[in-house]
Structure formats: C-alpha cells, structure tokens
Amino acid sequence: MITRQRTNWLKMLFIWKGSVINKIIVQLIVIAVLSLITLYFKGKIYDYKVHLNPTIFTLIGLALAIFMGFCNTASYDRYWEGRKLWGALVIESRSLTRQVLTLINDPSPEGKKSKEDFIKMIAAFCWSLNYQLRNKSGTEHLSRLLSAEQVDYLRDKRHIPVIILDFIGEWVSKQAKKNHIDTIVLASIDNRLNQFSQIVGGCERISNTPLPFAYSVLLHRTVYFYCFWLPFGLVDSLGWMMPLIVLLISYTFIALDAIIQEIGEPFGEEENDLALNTICRTIEYSIFEQAQIPQEDYKPTNSYFVD
Amino acid sequence: MITRQRTNWLKMLFIWKGSVINKIIVQLIVIAVLSLITLYFKGKIYDYKVHLNPTIFTLIGLALAIFMGFCNTASYDRYWEGRKLWGALVIESRSLTRQVLTLINDPSPEGKKSKEDFIKMIAAFCWSLNYQLRNKSGTEHLSRLLSAEQVDYLRDKRHIPVIILDFIGEWVSKQAKKNHIDTIVLASIDNRLNQFSQIVGGCERISNTPLPFAYSVLLHRTVYFYCFWLPFGLVDSLGWMMPLIVLLISYTFIALDAIIQEIGEPFGEEENDLALNTICRTIEYSIFEQAQIPQEDYKPTNSYFVD
Amino acid sequence: MITRQRTNWLKMLFIWKGSVINKIIVQLIVIAVLSLITLYFKGKIYDYKVHLNPTIFTLIGLALAIFMGFCNTASYDRYWEGRKLWGALVIESRSLTRQVLTLINDPSPEGKKSKEDFIKMIAAFCWSLNYQLRNKSGTEHLSRLLSAEQVDYLRDKRHIPVIILDFIGEWVSKQAKKNHIDTIVLASIDNRLNQFSQIVGGCERISNTPLPFAYSVLLHRTVYFYCFWLPFGLVDSLGWMMPLIVLLISYTFIALDAIIQEIGEPFGEEENDLALNTICRTIEYSIFEQAQIPQEDYKPTNSYFVD
Amino acid sequence: MITRQRTNWLKMLFIWKGSVINKIIVQLIVIAVLSLITLYFKGKIYDYKVHLNPTIFTLIGLALAIFMGFCNTASYDRYWEGRKLWGALVIESRSLTRQVLTLINDPSPEGKKSKEDFIKMIAAFCWSLNYQLRNKSGTEHLSRLLSAEQVDYLRDKRHIPVIILDFIGEWVSKQAKKNHIDTIVLASIDNRLNQFSQIVGGCERISNTPLPFAYSVLLHRTVYFYCFWLPFGLVDSLGWMMPLIVLLISYTFIALDAIIQEIGEPFGEEENDLALNTICRTIEYSIFEQAQIPQEDYKPTNSYFVD
Amino acid sequence: MITRQRTNWLKMLFIWKGSVINKIIVQLIVIAVLSLITLYFKGKIYDYKVHLNPTIFTLIGLALAIFMGFCNTASYDRYWEGRKLWGALVIESRSLTRQVLTLINDPSPEGKKSKEDFIKMIAAFCWSLNYQLRNKSGTEHLSRLLSAEQVDYLRDKRHIPVIILDFIGEWVSKQAKKNHIDTIVLASIDNRLNQFSQIVGGCERISNTPLPFAYSVLLHRTVYFYCFWLPFGLVDSLGWMMPLIVLLISYTFIALDAIIQEIGEPFGEEENDLALNTICRTIEYSIFEQAQIPQEDYKPTNSYFVD
C-alpha cells in the first residue's frame, strides 16, 4: 500500500511512484506509435480512409461508462470489504485479549504464563491468515508464537487459521473445565471466536471468488478497442495535437483498467494492495502491549510503500 | 465459475472461453448480415431512405444507460449476495464444528462417534441445499453422509435442508438432555442453527424471486432495437468501416445483456455461476480436517471451469 | 409477480404479458397520434415553426437520467427490502418452529397438541400481516388457524399481527411458568419474537412511507414533457421514420415510469408486486411439514402470474 | 409528509400541492423575466453578443450530474435512515411492551398499574424525542404521560429522551430487585433499552451533522449559473420557444435542489419531511392497544398532508 | 465543521466562508491568467494553432465523470462512516452509563463515588480517541478525568484508548468479584465494551487506510489536464466570454477535487471535517447529566465553525 499523503497540486501532476504508469508503459508506447503512424498517413490504410468520427466514441463511451463504473465500484467494494475484515481482526483481537485478561480468574503464575501463550496464539492466528491469503507456507515463522507440538500438528494441514482457532477454542474450553470462567463468560468468549471464524471465511470468499471473468474480458476489450481506434477518430479534427490527446485519454482508461485489476485482489503484494504485514505487526504490538508481554520497540517505516 | 486469472493484456483481447460469445453468436451473425445488406443498399428500404442520425442513438443510449446500469448492478448484487450466503455457510459450518468439538463434554468413544455423525450431518446439510437450489433430487447421494433412516425419512419431503436442520437441532437437544451441555451453550449452538436457517431462507429468496420480469423485457427490447438500428444510423458517416463498428458496439451491449441474465441466477451451472459443488467440497474437507475424520486427499482441479 | 423465465431472445421482443404495455397503452396512442400530426404539419403550429433541435433533449435528458436513475433505484430498494422482510419471515418462522419442537420439553399429548396450536398461530401471524399490508380484513380467514376466542378478540383491533404476536408471547411465557423451558431458552425464543416484530415494523414502514411525493411529481412531469416534445425535435432530421422512433423512445421512458410506480409499492397485487399469498402458503406448508401436521399436498401453479 | 397517491397520469402533470413550486416560484419568475429580456435583445448585452453554444451546457451538465446525483442520493439516504430509525422505534416500543406484559411476573393490581405507567413512559420517550428533534420544549405536554416528579426532574435537562430512558431503566431494575424478573430477562430487556439509545443517537447524528456545507454551496452555485446562462445559450437555436424550454429545464433542476435541501433535514415540518407526530400517535395507539389501556378511537386524517 | 444553515438562494451564490475557494484560489488564478493569454493569442502557440474542439472534452469528461463520481462517493462514505462511529460512541457511552447506574447494586457512598470515577473514565476514553486520531498527545488533558496513577501508566503507551478500555474492563471485573453484579450483567456490560473496541478499530481503519493513492493521482491529473486545456478548446467558439466560462467550469471541478481530499480524511481539523471536540463535549455533558455529576453550564458556540 502506498501511504503517501497528497502533496502540492503541482507536484501531484508529475508523481511517478504510486501511479500505475510502470504497469502500463508498454501499452502506452504502442498507442503512441500507432498515433504517430496514423498522423503520418492521415488515417489511411493504403488508400482506404478509415472513417471514424468522434460521435462513434460517444456510443462506445456509453458502454465503457457502464462497464468501468460498475467494475470499479465492484473492485473497490472487494478492497474495502477486505480492509474491513482485517480491521475487524484488529478489533476482535483486542477484545478477546481484554476479555481473557479481565474475565478469566486465575492469578497464579502458571495462569499468567498460560494467558501469555493464549495471546501469542491470537497473534499466530493473524499471521497464519496472512500467509494463507498470500499463498505462503509460513509454518516455520509461526514457531515464534506457537508451541512445538502445535507447529508440528499444523504442518500438513490446508486450513491452518481454522485449526489454530480450534486450539484457541480448546484452551478456552479447558479454562471452563478448570472453573476459571463460568458458562456465560464461556459463551461470550466463544462468540468472539465465531467472529474470528467469520473473518477467515470472509477473506477466503474474496480471495477465492474473483469478479466474474466475463466482466473482466468485456471491460478489457472495450477499453482497448476504444483506445486503438481513437487515433483514427481524432486525426482529422485535431491535427498535430492528436497523439498527445490520444495518449492522455488512453492513459486514464488503461490506468483505471489496471487499477481495477489490482484493487480487485486486495490481498496481493502490489502497490495498491492491503498492507497485511503491517496490520499483523500492529495487532501483535497492540495485544502484547495490553498484556504487558515484553517486545521490541515499535519502529515506524519511513518508506511510502508498506506491504 | 471461470477461475482464470487475467493474463497478458494482448491475450485478453482474443480469449474465447469465459467470454460469453458462444451464447450470443447467433445474434451477432444476424446483426453482421444486416449490416452488410444495409451497406450494400446504402440504408435504403426499396426507395425509402431510413433517416437515422447518430444523435438519435444518444437519446436511446440514455435509456439504455439507465436500464443497463441498474439491471447490471441488481444482478451482480444477487450474485454477490448468493456468494456471501455460501461464504457464511463455510463460516458457520466451521464454527458449529468447533463448538461441538470443544464445548460438548463427552469423552467416551460413543461420544466421539456421535460427534462424527453430527459433522457429517452438517456436510449433508450443505450438499442438500446445493441440490435443492439446482433442482436435483440427490437424496441417494446423501446416503454417504446420513444414516439409512434419515435418508428414508427425507425421501418425499420438499424442504430437505430444513428437515436436516431439524435433525441437527434434535441431536443438540438430545445432548442437552444427556447433560453434556448446559442451557447457555445450548442457546449459543441454537443461535448457530438459526444462522443456517437464514442461509437457507436467503438462498431460496434469491432463487425464487427473479429480477422483476418487466425490467428484463424492457432492457432486452431496448438493447436489440438499439443494435438493429445502428447500421442504418451509421451507414452514411462511416462507410465501409460500419459493419465492424456496429459489430463491436453490438457485441458489448448484447454480451452485457447475456451476462446480466446469467449472473442474476447465481445458483445455476453456467460459466459465470457460483461453484456450489466446489464450495461444498471445501466445507466437507475443512470440517472433516477439524474433526480429524479420515478422508481422501484434496486434489485441486486444473481446469479453468469449476462447477 | 411474473415468474416467467427469459425465453429465446427473439420471442422476448414480442412478449405482451409481463411487459407493462397494458398500463401505458393510452399514453402511447396519444403520443403516436401527436407524432403523426406533427409529421403532417412538419412541426408547425399554424405558421409558427417549433424550433426544438435534438441538443435540447440532451439537456433535458440529463435531468431525466438523474431522476430516473434515482427513483428507479429507490423504488427497487423498497421492493427488495420488502422481499427481504418476507424472506426473513420464512426464515424466522422455521427457526421458531424448530426451537419449539426441539427445545420445549413436553412429551405429553396435550403438549403436542399445544405445539400444533402454536405453529398454527405462526401461520396466522403471516397471513394477518399479508392481509394488513393489502388492506383486507381477513379475520374470518384466520378462524382456520386460531381459536374462536382469539378470532373474537382480534375483531376490532387495528394492529392484528402485533396482537397475534402477543398471543405467541403469552404462550411462550406460559410454557416458562410450567417449567417446560428455562429462562435462557425463553430469552432466546423471545429474541425470535422481536425479529417478528421487526418484520411487521419494516413492512409498515415501507407501506406507510411512499417515495417522497415531490420526486414522483418531478419525474412524471419531466418524462411526459420530454416525450411530448420529442416529435417536434425530431421531425426535421428523421422524416417519415420519426413516429416510430418517438414511439420507441417514449415506450422505454413511460414504461420505466410505470414500473417505478408499481415496484415502489411492493405489497400490492399488480403484475410486478411481491407474491405474498404464495410466500404465506410456502411458510404454512414448510412449518406444517416440520411439525408433521397433516395438510393437503402442495400443488404448484402453472400460471406465469403468482399473487 | 404528503401521503397522496399517484393519480391519473394527466392530472399528475398539473398538481400544485406536493410539488415544490411554491418554494421556488420567485426564482422561476426571475428566470422567466431574464429569458424574455434575452429573447428581446437576441442575447446581446449592449453591443456585445454573449457567445454560449449548447455544447457548453454539456460540459457544465457533467459537473451538475455528478453533484446532483451525489447530493440527492446522500440527502435521500439521510431521509430514509431517519425513517428507518423511527420505524425501529415503532418496532422496539411494541417489543418492549410485549416483553413487559408477558415476561414480568406480577399479577397484582399494583403490578398492572405499574406496567401501565411503564408503557406510558415509552410513549413519553417517543414524544420527547420528537420534540427534541423539532427544537420544541414540550415538557408540559409530557405531563399527560409522566408523573409530576418526573416532569419536574426533566425541566432543566438538555437530553430529555436520555433521561426518560434512565427512568425506564430504573423501573426495570426495580422489578429485578422485587424478583419479578430474573437476570436473563433483565439483560434481554436492557438490550432493548440499548436499541432505544441507538435510535436517539442515530436521530441526533442526522440532526446535528448536515450534508457538508461545501457540497450545498457548490451544488447551489452550479445549478443557478447553469440556469441563468441557459437563455443566452439557447436564444439563437430555439427562437420564440426559448423561454418555455428554459423555464422547464430550470424548473427541474431548481426543484431538485429545493427537494434535496428539504429531504436532507428529514425531521423538520415541511411538506416532504417525516410525519413524526403521526408516527408518535401510531406508537401510542398501538402499545396502548396491546396493553388494553383505554384511549380515544383512532381517527385517520383526511388531509394529504400529515405532520 | 461548518454548521451554517442554507440561507436565501441569492446569498448562497456569494458566500465565501464554507466554500473551499480559499484552498484553490492559486489554481484558479493560474487558470484565469492562462485563459486571458490564450484569448489574446487566439489559441496559438507561436504559429501553431492548438486544435481542440469541444467534442474532445466530452471524451475526457467521460473519464472525469467515472473518477469523480467514484472518488466522491468513496470519500463521503469514509466521512459518513466516521460520523457513524462517533455517533455510536455517543450512544454506547450513554448506554454504558445507564447500565452502570441502574444495574450495579452498590448503594454505599463509596459505590456512588466509584461510579462517578467510572463515568469519568468513559469521558476520558472519548477524549483519548479524539487525541489519537488527531495525532495529539493529550495525556496531560486526561488528568482532569483519570487518577494520577492511571495517567502515569498511560504515558509511554501507543494505543491509549485501548488501554483505557482495559481500565474500564478491570473496574467492571472488580464489581463482579465484589458481587455487585452477576455474570449475566457482566457479559452484557462486556458486550458494550466490545462495541467501544469496535469504534476504536473502525476509526483507526479509516485513519490508517486512505483512498488508494492511484485513484487520487489519476483523478487529480484528469481534473487539471481538463481544466488547463479548456481555454484552447473553447477560445474559438465562445470569444470574450471564454475566460469566465472556463473559470466557472474549472471552479466546480477543482473545488470538488479539494472537497474530496478534505472529506476523505474526516478526522482532521479542516472546515469540512468532523467536529470531534464538540462531540466529545456533548458526550461528557450528557453522561455527567445522567449521573448528576456537577459540571459547568453548557454554552453553545455562536460561530459557524465547530472543531
């Protein structure tokens, strides 16, 4: 994710990093060359003049507006829902930590140690969800937070966050059997675990069900036909300004097409994707702070890009 | 569902599978032929010139934009709501499994066996909802997961998922009578069953109430009139380019009309419908993994198309 | 509600039933006649030529797009919210039935009879909500499902579903006093009754608060001025094609205006309204099936139109 | 609120009451006069011809479409959220009444009297919220429903509904101390009080946070510049028809601007605002009917306008 | 936040404060100068005529409409969600206050004092969230509401509201240990604390995840290219009116771009941001009023601007 602030209006016009130009530079060059050739031949292919008046673009533009408006909104909704789910993970982690710290009645040193293990399991849960969504194995990384047997048990499993959630559930159930909590508090904590379950399920839903493929194809085609025909359509009325105008208009549409593609899969590691690692670090820092578990100082990054 | 990734921008322009071309090829050929005839006769019917200037299409285009924008959004909302409901089914199945495994106090071997039966009932519930939405009987398939009497009882019932849910409810109620859970946990588990009930009801709602028929008719008509009149409107200004342009514009609108139709009924088995079978398999795999019920290895499909 | 499937694309163009043509046929004839007169006089009123070039319609079209897009979305939202509320009624009825069957501990024959009465009360609740929304009295129809005293008590009441809900509440409260359920289950069932209460309130809200009247007026006026001025605006550029084009464009806008009007009051009995009777029958069949109350076989209708 | 039904399509064109014409009549007259002057001078100011071709209006129209579409949706959302909150108040009042009547175990005559007092407090709560939102004091009116000490206590308070809610909470808490309810029912009723609290907070939010002022300014300016420039832009192409067309287009935009302003503050007493008094009367009638508290007969109003 | 009411329609056209003109005055002057130069040279750069006909702007306008419509909606959603979260804070603070006052059974004078401390902690929580979102330290300000040790403990913490929430949780947990509340009420109050946790998390989400940067860049560029090219495009058709028209159109788009930027970060202290301080004061006043804690009279501000 790019966390850059909007700067001076003039500088914003010439920013490279964070705009998607590096992803679409090839296409833009192709269009620029095509424009220059069209300008040179005055829109003729051999002797056949290509008749394309600007009105045609209003008609195609209608289709484009419908597709782009829709796909953009749908993609951003996926992005924002993903963000909400991870925001909910922050919230629920803290609530569960607070509940465990204040509602579980076990002042013995083992109790304190056990609670710390529990809170590390929450952190492990967050990291494992992160790894699953980004298709990384990551079990070795979890050894920092889980016991050796737990890591061992997880090794050949497919739905690791779900299994860790079962660990958490067992821990809570054990506390109930030891009478450190009564059933009502148990039910209340269990309710929180269902929230975690919902977060896993929600993220999987976004990750496994892309925007229907037919939309992507249709949008992509309409955008490119539109842009490749623009030079022929504008060559007569704009003269030497044509390549510049074509390039700008193409830039806006092709860039939006690229952004839609990136934003629609919000759990990746590209420039406009969610900063899952940062969120995981925040959760870990925050719940360790609540439980007073010793940890390294928090060092903010200086870079514009957080992953 | 097509799970294909977006590929290179150039290849995307020539993909056949996953675009809806095979569903609308007839209409496109009709329009192509009409365009060529119109071009040959220069837009005359006998001696009567058909006067249709491009501005007219802006006016019809306004209506088209309103209808298409709306119907597309409404259809996609149905699709995404359907997906959310099935996502919720994944979530709730796992949560219920976790609750049964950790909160029900019955360490005896019969208890373990009984819990396994219970978890198979959850899987049966998911498959039966799938079969109901796709209008399949499927009771024989359920014999893999349910006992013989249960399958027998289901045979002439209409709302099979609801009845299976009652089985699940009875099982839980029996556990309460055997004092394996207290009332608070009972209420909490019952709450989960209400969630299942809501998922059934939500899916039925989408399945039984199509987009109001009047919208479909109106959209369909406006799209086709627009496309059939395009050749007459563009023949004078575009010359020999006309059939090509008409074909492209028609393609975008007719394809969107077809997509809207497909997406709006998300529980079918067409290319852009939800992959209910895959989701059911995922649920089964995941909850069996949680409960350590032995099962075959998971084999991902290699095909673009999952059903 | 029209439950017709979309058929062949060609047949869709000539369907009469389910399109709203029969509601707007008068207006379309008026416009057709006006178009022919305008064509005959070449857009003059006496000697004054009416100057209306197509660009004007782009300007009015802007207002039209804003109004229509908004009113259509707002109306459909009302329709879909109404559908959701009735879908929730299906869900909650089944959940409540399941809870009463599995959680209430009364194996005596009177208990079974009492539960059947209870489930009939749920059905009565649904029908009474239906009657209230459609402004029918219907108390006599309820005698099939309620006891004589209950029907008597309801006779002069205004908010019948609310009173039936109180009956249901009393029944549950009595079960608690007889110790057939404990307080936690009582609270859980009571929670379900609150859901019923929300459904009643939600339906009343939609039914009592129409779309602000000023929108209807403004939309209606803009549509009709637009359509009545079209002949003058297009007579010069389209020639003899004009009446046909005007008729098509008018059809789309006036039909949408009519659909908006119908859809916005989803509890009526018109072609595009919700099929409340069918939903009530479904609920009754489904909960009777759950409770194994004997009933007639379900016979699906063959008609396109369900009420 | 205007509760008028849509009538005959022809009559709808000439309705005065309920359209917002009386609020914008001055502006429309100014524009009409300006149009006539422009027509007389043929768009010249002294000898300078004002060059404004219709294309310009397409450009400004773009901005207008964005602003109007947005502000209208945002305003209507505020209106509909306000309506939903008051609908929730109806729902929760009935639910709370049902809970108090069926779940509180106190068959003594004092108990019945006390419950009646309680139900009157609910009604008082609704009215006081109404008064607060409309900036009326109304404490004297509440004496009909509350005891003298309560009215006295409220006199110099700022958040009256919140304090009445505390009264309600105390009453419930007292019942718990007298053992008429156990803690679970207490928690369930308390949950309902939180719903009331949410309704108060939601209404205050809408009431205290207007649509950001910058939007209002920008929309207002764009609308008026657009309308005031229209005569100059259309005078050449439309001739003597120009004032009529300008008036119609101006009417649609200025009327929508006025509606947006009215709808955006839904708790006022203007024609398109919510009928809070009617809702309060409905709540009172309905919960008194539930509790069989004697009251006057309900007399529906005959007027189109309910406040 | 500007709380100004909409005034007379004529005055609205000339309001300075509350419109965003002071933020964009530089850009507007640059465009005005550019327009005048273009007018003087009649759109030529040296001898090269810049060919830009108005149709081009329709094409760019399409992209602009898509970007602006989307970014504006997305920004406003962030603003309104922020407002909703703070509205929820008002609601939950009052509910928690009511629960503590009526449900906690401790009539001793120490109990009353302790409850007052508790209610001050709620106020401290609100203020600390405010300070965190606005990047202020504010611990010294909290000493008015918290005990000295608490303030001391908070000094080097990063997530202060979360820690204060833990204080609140501990207080409640202590009351449970002293048997002033039973577990059910404890769970119900704990539920409220989870709501507080959600509010913190929601605010952090909005504050930490801006609108994807690529959108800002793309919108900004399209707006400015559009505005800077307008003079060349309109110079031939509008003549001496051109600078005026260009200025108005530029004003609307650049102002909207600026509003989008402001509204999208709703927790700042600019003119169109949320009035967090006022909301905090309202909460404090309201819950102190509920608990009858002596406080200063409420004095409403007379200024248009509240922070």
Q: Do C210 and D88 touch (CB under 8 A)?
A: no
Yes or no: say if E224 and A9 are a contact pair by the CB < 8 Å rule. Answer: yes
> How many whole angstroms separate alpha carbon E203 and alpha carbon E210?
12
Contacts of C201 in chain D (CB under 8 A): 87-88, 90-91, 94
In angstroms, the separation between the Cα of residue A146 and the nearest Cα of chain E is: 25
Residue A45 lies in a domain: no
Q: Do C87 and B201 touch (CB under 8 A)?
A: yes
In angstroms, the separation between the Cα of residue B300 and the nearest Cα of chain C is: 35
E33 touching A, CB under 8 A? no
If phi over 0 gives left and psi between -120 and 50 gives alpha, with beta otherwise, what is residue E138?
Answer: left
**Which percentage of chain A shows pLDDT scores above 70?**
97
Judged against a pLDDT cut of 70, whether residue D265 lies above it is answered with yes
Token pair in block for residue D118: 């309680």
| Higher-pLDDT residue of B46, B179 | B179
Residue D108 lies in a domain: yes
Judged against a pLDDT cut of 80, whether residue B53 lies above it is answered with no
Mean pLDDT over each residue of chain C, to the nearest integer: 87
Q: Do D91 and C214 touch (CB under 8 A)?
A: no
Q: Do B54 and A50 touch (CB under 8 A)?
A: no
- Band of pLDDT at residue B106, cut at 50, 70 and 90: confident
User: What sign has the CA pseudo-torsion E61, E65, E68, E70?
Assistant: negative
Q: E159 phi and psi, to 5 degrees?
A: -105, 70
Range of weakest confidence among A67-76, B269-278, C8-17: C8-17
Contacts of B200 in chain C (CB under 8 A): 91, 94
Structural domain tally of chain A?
Answer: 1
Contacts of A15 in chain E (CB under 8 A): 217
**Which percentage of chain D shows pLDDT scores above 70?**
97
Residue A281 lies in a domain: yes
Contacts of B51 in chain C (CB under 8 A): 237-241
pLDDT at E118: 94
In angstroms, the separation between the Cα of residue E295 and the nearest Cα of chain A is: 32
Q: Do C48 and D12 touch (CB under 8 A)?
A: no
Write out the H or E segment, with its range, that includes residue A283. Answer: helix A276-291
Q: What is the arithmetic mean of pLDDT over C245-274?
A: 90
Residue D17 lies in a domain: no
Q: What is the arithmetic mean of pLDDT over B125-150?
A: 87
Q: Which residues contact B24 (CB under 8 A, 6 or more apart)?
A: B251, B254, B255, B258
Closest Cβ opposite residue B50 in set C18, C19, C241:
C241
Mean pLDDT over each residue of chain E, to the nearest integer: 88
pLDDT at C119: 94
Provide DSSP, A35-54: HHHHHHHTTEETTEE----H
In angstroms, the separation between the Cα of residue D63 and the nearest Cα of chain E is: 7
> How many whole angstroms separate alpha carbon D99 and alpha carbon D189?
7
- Band of pLDDT at residue B5, cut at 50, 70 and 90: low
Q: Do C69 and B74 touch (CB under 8 A)?
A: no
User: Using CB atoms and an 8 Å cut-off, which of residues 116-175 of chain A contact chain E?
Assistant: none
Judged against a pLDDT cut of 70, whether residue E170 lies above it is answered with yes
Chain C residue with Cα closest to D90: C201
pLDDT at B121: 95
In angstroms, the separation between the Cα of residue D136 and the nearest Cα of chain C is: 24
Contacts of A6 in chain E (CB under 8 A): 216, 220, 261
Contacts of D187 in chain E (CB under 8 A): 184-185, 187-188
Residue D299 lies in a domain: no
Judged against a pLDDT cut of 90, whether residue B142 lies above it is answered with no
**Residue with the two structure tokens 């979260």:** E85
Question: A59: domain range?
Answer: 25-34+51-291
pLDDT at A70: 93
> How many whole angstroms separate alpha carbon A43 and alpha carbon A238?
12
pLDDT at A5: 66
In angstroms, the separation between the Cα of residue E92 and the nearest Cα of chain D is: 8
pLDDT digits (tens, 9 = 90+) for A20-32: 888 889 999 999 9
Closest Cβ opposite residue E215 in set A15, A259, A285:
A259
> How many whole angstroms separate alpha carbon D200 and alpha carbon D197?
5
- Band of pLDDT at residue A6, cut at 50, 70 and 90: low
Range of weakest confidence among A196-210, E65-79, E289-303: E289-303
**Residue with the two structure tokens 């909703």:** E84
Judged against a pLDDT cut of 80, whether residue C136 lies above it is answered with yes
Judged against a pLDDT cut of 90, whether residue E80 lies above it is answered with yes
- Band of pLDDT at residue B15, cut at 50, 70 and 90: confident
D53 touching C, CB under 8 A? no
Q: Which residues contact C25 (CB under 8 A, 6 or more apart)?
A: none
Residue C6 DSSP label = P
Q: ipTM value, please give it.
A: 0.91
In angstroms, the separation between the Cα of residue C80 and the nearest Cα of chain B is: 9
Token pair in block for residue E14: 């000339």
Write down the H helix ranges in chain E. Answer: 9-12, 21-41, 54-103, 109-133, 139-142, 148-154, 160-177, 183-208, 213-238, 242-263, 276-291
- Band of pLDDT at residue E195, cut at 50, 70 and 90: very high
Judged against a pLDDT cut of 90, whether residue D33 lies above it is answered with yes
pLDDT digits (tens, 9 = 90+) for C277-287: 999 999 999 99
Contacts of D215 in chain E (CB under 8 A): 259
Judged against a pLDDT cut of 90, whether residue C116 lies above it is answered with yes
| Higher-pLDDT residue of B152, E6 | B152
B212 touching C, CB under 8 A? yes
Judged against a pLDDT cut of 70, whether residue A131 lies above it is answered with yes
pLDDT digits (tens, 9 = 90+) for A245-267: 899 899 999 999 999 988 999 99
Judged against a pLDDT cut of 90, whether residue A17 lies above it is answered with no
Residue D101 lies in a domain: yes
Instruction: Looking at mean pLDDT, say which of B14-28, B116-130, C102-116 comes out highest.
Output: B116-130
Q: Which amino acid is at B281?
A: R
> How many whole angstroms separate alpha carbon B35 and alpha carbon B231?
5
Contacts of D272 in chain C (CB under 8 A): 212-214
pLDDT digits (tens, 9 = 90+) for D108-145: 888 899 999 999 999 999 999 999 999 887 677 788 89
Chain B residue with Cα closest to A158: B286
D70 touching C, CB under 8 A? no
Judged against a pLDDT cut of 90, whether residue B193 lies above it is answered with yes
Judged against a pLDDT cut of 70, whether residue C138 lies above it is answered with no
Q: What is the arithmetic mean of pLDDT over C89-102?
A: 92
> How many whole angstroms separate alpha carbon D224 and alpha carbon D226?
5
User: Using CB atoms and an 8 Å cut-off, which of residues 282-301 of chain C contact chain B?
Assistant: 285-286, 289-290, 298
E277 touching D, CB under 8 A? no
Q: Do D61 and C62 touch (CB under 8 A)?
A: yes
Residue D149 lies in a domain: yes
| E-strand stretches of D80-120 | none
pLDDT digits (tens, 9 = 90+) for C167-209: 999 999 999 888 888 888 888 898 999 999 999 999 999 998 8
Q: What is the arithmetic mean of pLDDT over B161-173?
A: 92
E259 touching D, CB under 8 A? yes
Q: C49 phi and psi, to 5 degrees?
A: -75, 130
- Band of pLDDT at residue A160, cut at 50, 70 and 90: very high
Token pair in block for residue C107: 């194996």
**Which percentage of chain D shows pLDDT scores above 90?**
45
Contacts of C126 in chain B (CB under 8 A): none
